[in-house]
Amino acid sequence: MAIAYRQQVDDDTEFAIWKIEEEADELYNQLQLDEHEKAFYELLSKGKRNLHWLGTRVLLRKMLCTEEYIDFKVDSHGKPYLVNLPYHISLSHSFDYAAVMISKNNPVGIDIEQVKEKVERIASKFMRPEEMAFIDERQKINQLYVCWCAKEAVYKCFGQKEVSFADNISLQPFNFEGHGSVKAKLHREGTLINYNVGYLQYEDYMIGYVNGVTDEE
C-alpha cells in the first residue's frame, strides 16, 4: 500500500489517495484500535467494506505521521472527527482506493468515485434541470461524476443530515477538464453557503474536494 497521489491545497490543508493492495490482516496490524473499534470491525462484512474501513484509517495515520493511538469518533450526523488532534478530516473510498483530506483550520469534504457509465441512469436523482442543461454531451459521464463528487464533498463538509443533492445543493456551469473547480451553493432552511469545489480526474476515478466555505449568508 502506498500513497498514489497527494496534493497540498493550502498551507494547512491536503488530501491523499492510497491504492489498497494489502490483505486485511496487514492493514489491521498497522493500526491501534480500542475495544469498541475492534468490536465494530468484527461486525463488518469481509471484502471491500473492511478493506475500505482499514485503508482510510491507515492512510489517515500516514498523513498525520503518527504511530500513536488516534482517538477517532463519528458525530450524530455521521461526520468523522479527531478527539485529541487539531485537524478537521474527511474520508472516502471507492473500489481499490482510499482517500483522506485533513485541515487544521477549516471543515473539509472529499469524495472519490470510480467512473462508470451507470451514472447517467441516476443523474435525475442528484442533478437539477438547469445543471443538466450545461452538461457537454462529449464529456457527459466525466462531467456528471464531477457534479456527483462535488455535491458529495459539499455534503461532507457541511456535515449535517437531511441534505438533498438535487434540492439543497446547486452547481454553477463549468467546462470539464482533467482538473479544475466548480462553484457550489448549499441552501437549506434559510442558510445559504457558497463553496468552491476542486476536482481531479485520476486514472478512471474522479475526486471532488472542498476546503471550508467561500462565504455564508
The pLDDT assigned to 94 comes to 97
In this prediction, residues 32-47 reach a mean pLDDT of 90
pLDDT, tens only, 95-104: 999 999 999 9
What span, in angstroms and rounded, lies between the C-alpha atoms of 68 and 84? 11
State the average pLDDT for the chain: 94
Grid cell, residue 151, equals 455535491
What span, in angstroms and rounded, lies between the C-alpha atoms of 92 and 175? 25
Size of the chain in residues:
217
Which structural domains are found in the chain, ordered by start? 2-110 (3.90.470.20), 112-216 (3.90.470.20)
The pLDDT assigned to 136 comes to 97
pLDDT, tens only, 156-196: 999 998 999 999 999 999 999 999 999 999 999 888 999 99
The pLDDT assigned to 48 comes to 87
In this prediction, residues 36-65 reach a mean pLDDT of 92
The pLDDT assigned to 103 comes to 97
- Say how many C-beta atoms besides its own lie within 10 A of residue 36's C-beta: 9
Specify burial of residue 140 (Cβ count, 10 A radius: 0-12, 13-18, 19+). middle
The pLDDT assigned to 190 comes to 87
> Model-level pTM greater than 0.85?
yes
Answer whether residue 155 shows pLDDT above 70. Answer: yes
Answer whether residue 216 shows pLDDT above 60. Answer: no
Kindly list the distances between the CA atom of residue 12 and the CA atoms of 103, 105, 155, 191, 217, in Å, as whole numbers in the listed order: 5, 7, 21, 27, 25
- Say how many C-beta atoms besides its own lie within 10 A of residue 160's C-beta: 15
Residue % of the chain over a pLDDT of 90: 90
Confidence of residue 45 (pLDDT cuts 50, 70, 90): confident
Specify burial of residue 121 (Cβ count, 10 A radius: 0-12, 13-18, 19+). exposed
Cα 58 to the center of its chain, rounded Å: 16
The pLDDT assigned to 215 comes to 62
